[in-house]
Amino acid sequence: MNRLHQSLYTAASLVVLLGLWYAGGLAFPEVLPGLPETLAALITVLTTPGPYGNMFYFHVWKTIEMLFASLFVSMIVGTILGIALGRSDSLESTLSMWIYGWLAIPSLVIVFVSAIWIGFNATSGYFAVPVVITPFIALNMWEGARNLDPDLAEMAEFFGAGRFQKFKDVIVPQLAPFLFASFRSGLSIGWKITLLVEAFLLTRGVGFMFKRYFDNYDLPTMMSWLIIFVVFLIIVEYGVLAPLHERVMEWRPEAEGVRVTE
Amino acid sequence: MTASNETQMSADASADTLKLRDIVKRFEKPGQGQILVLDRVDMDVEGGAFVSLLGPSGCGKTTLMNVVSGLVEPNSGTMRRGDRDVSPNDLSLGYIFQEPRLLNWKTVAENIEFALEARDVPESEWEERTERYLEMVGLGDEGDNYPTRLSGGMKQRVAIARALAIEPEIILMDEPFSSLDEITARDLRQELLEIWQREQKTILFVTHDINEAVFLSDYIYMMNTDGEMFAKRNVDIDRPRKYDDPAIAERETELYREFHENVVH
């Protein structure tokens, strides 16, 4: 399938979705906000200041700020933790049960506990979001570190590669797919937790807007906010992550459809 | 130890002969206690010779080679050259593994540069060496290609170029052709012999294939599964050798018989 075909299929799926939405809005107006109403609400959101006189980009920016700051911290902590777990048997035996325990704590509980400990402010969010997503990233990197090829390590050892050269040329490239997977899962989980924090604790950000329009039973405006953020995440994936991933992974045989003759 | 030395080494050769004496290596195996992998093994690797270590799977051939490479620390034994004790760090060694062990995310040329960087070869020499040794293994045009786009035989050629590029005196090879199809393997063996003779290298070659050992080697050390080196046998067949030379088949049969008596009880 070539690129043109791919975009045609994507465009077709969008048209079908909009068509279904339009028809659904006519058939079940109480459940599904109509397409025209949603578009009108979207235009209002995009053009007029909302609560506290802030434009939509202020709220989107606040959400992005919390999401990406948390991702930054979690990627560092989770990667270090995951690699340490994958490399040391004793650390693995000591900590693995607690990692699974950490994963089992509902994110809602973490958000509430942060609010009690820290208060109804952004600091709670900057604490809660990394606490929720770090174990997911650690779990991923743990898997990656366990799969490091001992044969390559031996080869590098034999040729006398130093610590830095081994890290940059042998270890990091093997972990790259896991770094991407971690970032993607961190992003998708993190944005949901950021919304929770904003909805329950704060008076700004996309989560707060959902809460506010939920209180007003204003479904078309909630849909508009959903559209804004989903579009943003799609741009991050297709505009940044996918091209970067392709670049880093260009050595893979399937990258140009070349068959490996073994 | 029943090794019988058939050859009388000349005084010249013995000066740069690497002599391993009484090498013992035990491994701890969970549930089985200690396993004796090398039982007081002696081995002489003459300078410029093609030496094979022949034995069934799991007999400790690779372990013995890794005592030379420094990847395995023996429990006891000595390694001497001339009149001096030597450690693996004193030797100039290249290694070709059973698998190519290339960094798939680096191009063919960068894989060779990886070894050059690891060996602290000045960066100004990288390009010349990379070109020279890729040319030598017949991959002069593949420098910018990724290993994942190469066939198994070509990957092993890159591994050979990588080992040559650090310009070692002794090249260690651990069943390097065993995962290749026989046609590719034969081509590579021929080329290896040409390179070995032209570049005046010493090669220590581990294999379980008697035919391969006879075709390639000046002399062959034979090991059994108890970690003992039970024989050293010469291959006095003129080079260049031909695969269909009856002398090779004959020597192979003799060595096989000997193996059968010593290994299969």
Q: Which pLDDT belongs to residue B264?
A: 61
Q: Which pLDDT belongs to residue B225?
A: 87
Task: Report chain A residues whose CB lies below 8 A from the CB of B119.
Answer: 159-160
**pLDDT digits over B45-74, tens only?**
999 999 999 998 888 899 999 999 999 999
Question: A157 pLDDT exceeds 50?
Answer: yes
Q: Do B114 and A159 touch (CB under 8 A)?
A: yes
Once rounded to an integer, what is the mean pLDDT over residues B170-175?
A: 95
CA distance B253 to B98: 26
Q: Which pLDDT belongs to residue A254?
A: 59
Share of chain B above pLDDT 70, in %: 94
Task: Report chain B residues whose CB lies below 8 A from the CB of A261.
Answer: 151-152
Q: Which pLDDT belongs to residue B162?
A: 96
Confidence label for B34 from pLDDT (cuts 50, 70 and 90):
confident
Task: Out of A156, A176, A261, name the one closest to residue B118 (CB).
Answer: A156
Once rounded to an integer, what is the mean pLDDT over residues B31-42?
A: 88
Q: Which pLDDT belongs to residue B105?
A: 93
Q: What share of chain A is helix, strand, coil (3-state, %, to 5)?
A: 85, 0, 15
Q: What is the mean pLDDT of chain A?
A: 89
The one-character DSSP state at A260 is P
Residues A204/A198, Cβ–Cβ less than 8 Å:
yes
**pLDDT digits over B119-152, tens only?**
999 999 999 999 999 999 999 999 999 999 999 9
Confidence label for A250 from pLDDT (cuts 50, 70 and 90):
confident
Once rounded to an integer, what is the mean pLDDT over residues B202-228?
A: 94
Confidence label for B4 from pLDDT (cuts 50, 70 and 90):
very low
- Of A139, A126, A132, A125, which Cα lies nearest the Cα of A107? A132
Task: Report chain B residues whose CB lies below 8 A from the CB of A253.
Answer: 148-149
Closest-CA residue of B relative to A251 is: B105
Burial (CB count within 10 angstroms: exposed 0-12, middle 13-18, buried 19+), residue B187: middle
**pLDDT digits over A100-150, tens only?**
999 999 999 999 999 999 999 999 999 999 999 999 999 999 999 998 999
- Of A75, A63, A157, A143, which Cα lies nearest the Cα of B72? A157
Residues A18/A35, Cβ–Cβ less than 8 Å:
yes
Confidence label for B96 from pLDDT (cuts 50, 70 and 90):
very high
Q: Do B97 and A155 touch (CB under 8 A)?
A: yes
Q: Do A173 and B103 touch (CB under 8 A)?
A: yes
Q: Which pLDDT belongs to residue A260?
A: 40
Share of chain A above pLDDT 70, in %: 96
Confidence label for B13 from pLDDT (cuts 50, 70 and 90):
low
Closest-CA residue of A relative to B153 is: A262
Share of chain B above pLDDT 90, in %: 78
Q: What is the mean pLDDT of chain B?
A: 90
Task: Report chain A residues whose CB lies below 8 A from the CB of B97.
Answer: 151, 154-155
Q: Do B103 and A151 touch (CB under 8 A)?
A: no
Closest-CA residue of B relative to A157 is: B71
Q: Do A159 and B97 touch (CB under 8 A)?
A: no
ipTM summary value: 0.86
Task: Report chain B residues whose CB lies below 8 A from the CB of A252.
Answer: 104, 148
Task: Out of A169, A176, A252, name the one closest to residue B148 (CB).
Answer: A252
Q: Tell me which residues of chain B have a C-beta less than 8 Å from any C-beta of chain A.
A: 69-71, 95, 97, 99, 101, 103-106, 114-115, 117-120, 146-152, 166
**pLDDT digits over A200-224, tens only?**
999 899 999 999 999 998 889 999 9
The residues, any chain, with a CB within 8 Å of residue B201's CB and separated by 6 or more, are B48, B168, B169, B170, B171, B195
Once rounded to an integer, what is the mean pLDDT over residues B5-14?
A: 48
Question: A78 pLDDT exceeds 80?
Answer: yes
Q: Which pLDDT belongs to residue A13?
A: 93
Nearest Cα of chain A lies from the Cα of B5 at a distance, in angstroms, of: 32
Task: Report chain B residues whose CB lies below 8 A from the CB of A158.
Answer: 69-71, 95
Number of residue pairs across A and B with CB atoms under 8 Å? 62
Residues of A69-104 as b/e, b for ≥16 C-beta within 10 angstroms? ebbebbbebbbebbbbbbeeeeebeebeeebeebee
Q: Which pLDDT belongs to residue A119?
A: 92
